[in-house]
Chains A and B, each alone.
Chain A
Amino acid sequence: MNKNKEQLLNKRYKAEQRFRLYGLSAIFMAFLFLTIFIFKIFSTGYSAFQKTWLIVPVTFDAELMMLDQNPSKEDLQDADYYDIALKSMADLDPNANEDQENELKRMVSYFFEKEIKNELLNDPNLIGKTKEVYLTASDDLDQVFKGNYPRDLPEDQRRVSDYQLKIFDQLVANGKVESKFNISFFTNADSREAELAGIASSFMGSIFSILVCLMIAFPVAVLAAIYLEEFAPKNRFTDFIEVNINNLAAVPSIVFGLLGLGVLLAIFQLPRSTPLVGGITLSLMTLPTIIIAARASLKAVPPSIREAALAMGASRMQTTMHHTVPLSMPGTLSGTIIGLAQALGETAPLILIGMVAFVNTIPGSPMDPAASLPVQIYIWAESAERGFVEKVSACIMVLLGFLIIMNLFAQIIRHKFEKKWS
């Protein structure tokens, strides 16, 4: 009998341990996912911050460029650089036939003549001389150099030919291939060529959308929260508003995209693909988040503050505006920043209002067509070229960086400025 009891007790303790283990492993799983996730993004993305350059000797032959003696600045602008650019690439292999010359040309980026042109514009004395110029390598060779490209595939499945690889290996052996920090990733707009594509246009698009979103959502949300928390009578109508707010906070974001499409674009005829429309759509989405945060932080201001102000003869409006609202600001601001961080990562509604258009210029105002960082991730992730994979990861790293900074900022505001009432 006693033995039986002990067995039962042991069984119960074992069950206890098992249960504890389940909980621990659940948390462990969640961490594991997070780690795999971050590791994967970093390991595919870090190489995008490096860019491969070929160092190619270019002869600035005045005749080939159709330049007269003593050319002016305009002449240099209008000169023909394509021929010398082609020639300098063809000269890499003196025995090349016509097909091979074509392949040589495709070893550098599509706009390589522009790079040669800039070299001459910076130093007009180069005419007639030969100089080693840094040319952006094509995205496939860039991937080969970074070791992301399987060289052992059969040739017809590769986008780099055996001949190109041979010349490239010669260049590497001669030290004519160099890897440098990829500035153009941050300064270039989007491009069809992976080696030239950058995040500048989508970054500006994101900034403009977030600014528009902040300018609309913040004032409206704060005013609404003040009304609901401090002035609203308790009746059916205000209950209805509350139910609305709580529901909107849980409506799928794509529905807001349909709202933007059906109302902002179709009825108000606002310009498509612009951060203005994107920002308005996002502001409707963040509105409930900010209202809820602002109300919570207004509620946290102790009633004694209000009573003291009222006792001194302040009106209700004065009490609210001079005492309650300033005291609630830290909480409201950190809620706003968290709401904006959410909006910054949002993709689906922006796709619906047309912010997926290919934009190869950097937008200068919220009225210009633009993409945004998450949409850029989507666009690149959908392209087939191998060179875009690392760009996507790099873009994700930039986006996550911004989100982390915003969230830290929200934490700092909350901990530094919020008064603790006890």
Chain B
Amino acid sequence: MNLILFTFIVLLGFTSYYFGRKKAYTIQSTKKRLTALPQFYGYYLAIWCAIPAFIIFSLWAIFEPTIVKLLILSDYSNQGYLDDELNLLYEKSKALSRGQFTGEITPFIEASAEKYLSLRSIAQSSKVVIVLSAIIASVAYAYKRISSNSRTREPVEKFLNAVLFTASLAAILTTVGIVFSLIFQTIDFFKVIPLFDFVFGTHWYPAKAFVRDSSEALDPTMYSDTFGAVPIFAGTFFIAFIAMCVAIPIGLMSGIYLAEYASTKVRQYAKPLIEILAGIPTVVYGFFAALTVGPFLKELGTSMGLEVSAESALAAGGVMGIMIIPFISSLSDDVITSVPQSLRDGSYAMGATKSETIKRVIFPAALPGIVGSILLGVSRAIGETMIVVMASGLAANLTLNPLESTSTITAQIVVILIGDQAFGDPKTQAAFALGMSLFLVTLCLNIVALRVVKKYREKYE
């Protein structure tokens, strides 16, 4: 129904464009000068068609459900029901009217289901009537108004500008959405679990917090020693550290080689080849780590008499390091190439070899940019999910032994939220609290890294 109406409105839009342009041509044929190109007259009318339709559609979407609900619940208002019960009754009658209701059908609910259906159909048909009449009225008004000396280009362009501006707000809205979706659950979580316990507790065992009914959910003693995030944070930074131990030497050295030593031809082929590593989906790395690297390390360890877990932090961290190589190599390559040639020439003129120039002159000059690229790499390592979920342990374990299994923030979020979630359960809220800490940590890293890189660029531009 909505789709048909929408198509109809689009068609109306095209028709009004046509009429607008036609009117412009008629004006032109009377030898009067137009103030804008004829198609602007068309666009002008089409906008007059779109705006009222859009406004009415959104008003309807916001208010229709509330009004229908009010009307239906007014039948029950004097019978002493609680708010929750009323809501339940409403949901039941809605489900019944869609034929999805499976519980016991009482005459009351049946009556409200019928009422719901009739109200909905009234709402639908009145929406059609109102939208169409509003469109026709506004287009007719605008059609009457346009004449040889009326301005059409300016309003059309203003409208377009407004559309462009709204689109650019999408980024802000996304950030707001992220903060919004995280913050409420996090606050609820800290109402039950003290912040101190979360940040300094050393036992993470969310499975213990499984509650069957909501009366238990508010008993805080039950959660003491359950949501201590220290092992999780430690595991996250530990795995990220292992990853950087792999990624920094390899990434940095290949970046230096590509920038300073490699011929144009080698560079042309080697750079995209290394960047393939960045394009491989992380779930593929996870599979590789779990299936190949983990068992390989375990076998290797056993042959050397070491006890290695099949889900060791080393396997996950190492593979994650491989994934981060291209980020560091590309960025540091860019940074090193943008060091001015004069610095190199000066060093060579003093008799320094190439490697001495790199180590003593170029590297210090490029250091801020390289630090920025490393920070971005760290932020990636901390936020990486699939490798850890598949190749590292799922149980929190406070350890500094790379051969044991540990868990990370991202892995815990997935473990808690996979399958069905009940909002309002401290376990689910814990996942959001972890998400919030992840978001804050990566946000800080990103801001610092981006600022450092930007400062560095400005220095040599």
The residues of A with any CB-CB pair to B shorter than 8 Å are 12-13, 15-16, 18-20, 22-27, 29-31, 33-34, 37, 40-41, 44, 219-221, 223-224, 226-228, 231-232, 238, 240-241, 243-248, 250-259, 261-263, 266, 284, 287-288, 291, 315-317, 341, 344-348, 351-352, 356, 374-375, 377-378, 381-382, 389, 392-393, 396, 399-400, 403, 407
Contacts and interface: CB of A to CB of B under 8 A. Distances in A.
A247 B175 CA distance: 9
Contacts of B281: 344-347, 374, 399, 403
Contacts, number: 256
Contacts of A22: 253
B442 A223 contact: no
Given A255-B178, A315-B153, A348-B414, A246 B250 contact: no
B286 A381 contact: yes
A30 B250 contact: yes
B450 A246 contact: yes
Contacts of A37: 280, 288
Contact of A378 (B184, B390, B413): B390
A247 B447 contact: yes
A151 to B, nearest CB: 20
Interface string B319-332: 00010011001000
Contact of B168 (A232, A250, A315): A232
19 contacts: A18-B355, A19-B355, A22-B253, A24-B261, A25-B253, A26-B257, A40-B292, A224-B168, A241-B172, A251-B446, A266-B423, A287-B174, A288-B171, A317-B157, A347-B281, A348-B385, A377-B287, A400-B280, A407-B279
Given A258-B182, A259-B181, A344-B281, 17 more contacts: A19-B359, A22-B253, A23-B261, A26-B253, A31-B273, A34-B274, A40-B292, A223-B168, A227-B164, A247-B450, A250-B449, A252-B410, A255-B182, A261-B421, A287-B171, A352-B414, A378-B390
B200 interface: no
A252 B385 contact: yes
Contacts of B291: 44, 381, 389, 392
Interface in B252-297: 252-254, 256-258, 260-261, 270, 273-274, 276-277, 279-284, 286-288, 290-292
Contacts of B194: none
A347 B182 contact: no
A34 B170 contact: no
A250 B435 contact: no
B379 interface: yes
Contacts of B160: 317
A351 B291 CA distance: 21
A392 B170 contact: no
Nearest to A407: B279
A317 B449 CA distance: 36
Contacts of A258: 178, 181-182, 413, 417, 431-432, 435
B349 interface: no
Contacts of A345: 279-284
Among B258, B283, B439, the one with the most A-chain Cβ atoms within 10 Å of its Cβ is B283
B376 interface: yes
B297 to A, nearest CB: 14
Q: Most chain-B CB neighbours within 10 Å: which of A19, A31, A226, A403?
A: A19
Chain A binding surface, main DSSP class: helix
Interface in B413-461: 413-414, 417-419, 421, 423, 431-432, 435, 438-439, 442-443, 446-447, 449-450
Given A19-B358, A352-B417, A254 B435 contact: yes
Contacts of A24: 257, 261
Nearest to A349: B385
Contact of A15 (B276, B355, B390, B432): B355
A40 B257 contact: no
Nearest to B36: A315
B170 A220 contact: yes
B63 interface: no
B180 interface: yes
**Pairs A-B, 5 closest by C-beta atoms:** A252-B383, A262-B181, A23-B257, A345-B281, A223-B167
B202 to A, nearest CB: 24
Interface of B: 153, 157, 160-161, 163-165, 167-172, 174-175, 177-178, 180-182, 184-185, 249-254, 256-258, 260-261, 270, 273-274, 276-277, 279-284, 286-288, 290-292, 322, 325-326, 329, 353-356, 358-359, 376, 379-380, 382-386, 389-390, 410, 413-414, 417-419, 421, 423, 431-432, 435, 438-439, 442-443, 446-447, 449-450
B444 to A, nearest CB: 10
Given A258-B181, A348-B386, A27 B270 contact: yes
Given A254-B435, A378-B286, A403-B281, A248 B175 contact: yes
Contacts of A396: 284, 287
A248 B443 CA distance: 9
A285 B358 CA distance: 38
Nearest to A254: B385
Contacts of A347: 281-283, 385-386
A224 B182 contact: no
| Residue among B168, B256, B355 facing the most chain A CB atoms (10 A cut-off) | B168
A193 B377 CA distance: 40
B261 A245 contact: no
A340 B178 CA distance: 21
Contact of B382 (A34, A252, A407): A252
B164 A315 contact: no
Nearest to A406: B279
Contacts of A253: 383, 385
A30 B438 contact: no
Contacts of B450: 246-247, 250
Contacts of B185: 262
B164 A231 contact: yes
A407 B273 CA distance: 13
B182 A251 contact: no
B384 A252 contact: yes
Contacts of A251: 178, 383, 439, 442-443, 446
A232 B325 CA distance: 36
B290 A381 contact: yes
Contacts of B253: 22-23, 25-27
B248 to A, nearest CB: 10
A244 B171 contact: yes
A220 B161 contact: no
A248 B171 contact: yes
Given A37-B288, A227-B165, A252-B383, A30 B182 contact: no
Q: Which of the listed residues B253, B418, B450 has the most CB atoms from chain A within 10 Å of its own CB?
A: B253
A147 to B, nearest CB: 18
Contacts of B174: 244, 248, 259, 284, 287
A317 B170 contact: no
Contacts of A247: 175, 443, 446-447, 450
A269 B390 CA distance: 30
Nearest to B165: A227
B181 A378 contact: no
